[in-house]
Amino acid sequence: MTNWELHGLELANCNCATGCPCQFVSMPTNGNCEAVAGFEFSSGHYGDVDLSGTRAAMVVAWPGAIHEGNGRMQIIIDESATPEQRDALQKIFTGEDTDEMATFWWVFSKMCPTKLETLYKPISFTIDMEKRTGKMSVPGVFESEAGPLLNPVTGAPHRARINLPHGFEYRMAEVAKGSTRTSGEIDLKHNMDSHVHMVELHMANSGVLEAA
């Protein structure tokens, strides 16, 4: 097994209500699960391949809950990545060189028997976890925007976090709301009140690193 490690930020928007029942081992809000997630890695490696500064994204959709399978997945890797970096991220995102059930990428890959062609396109990614705002887009694939939860009475930003001590994606996530429109092969339309989480990722072959 090739050792790998990644550190960076994630912005994810799914079709569930804010808070996302999946995070609490409940069925998805609308009976199905679909999401877009973007990643910017500040540091990392796959063997001797440096992954610092790389970006990637994924669009995923399941007809039911994730654990029921039959999903579709499309991976996007920023076109600036070298051939070696592209190969490394492809392997990590499809669960290769990863302990069984250790990462959400491993789980998503196993639950998505249909994998669309990986795309190499420019990925725009901005995130402010303190303000719970962000944007990400891939030309011809998707556009997503995120903003803070708002108090329905005062209109002031409302802060909420999810703490998963044994999670396979993160230990702590900032919760926001957002919207997504896709224009690629997987058709998603999430309104501005759908779930967003923003995460500091610290991941390796064995799963979430305790530094998270």
- For the stretch 58-83, pLDDT in tens is 999 999 999 999 999 999 999 999 99
Strands 189-204 vs 207-208: parallel, antiparallel or unpaired:
antiparallel
Residue 79 DSSP class: T
Domain hosting 56: range is: 4-208
At 117, list the tokens: 């062609």
Is pLDDT of 212 > 90?
A: no
Q: Are 42 and 7 in contact (CB under 8 A)?
A: yes
- Number of domains forming the structure of the chain: 1
Q: Are 15 and 29 in contact (CB under 8 A)?
A: yes
- For the stretch 109-149, pLDDT in tens is 999 999 999 999 999 999 999 999 999 999 999 999 999 99
Residue 171 DSSP class: S
Look at residue 90 and give its three-state secondary structure.
helix
What is the predicted pLDDT for the residue at 210? 82
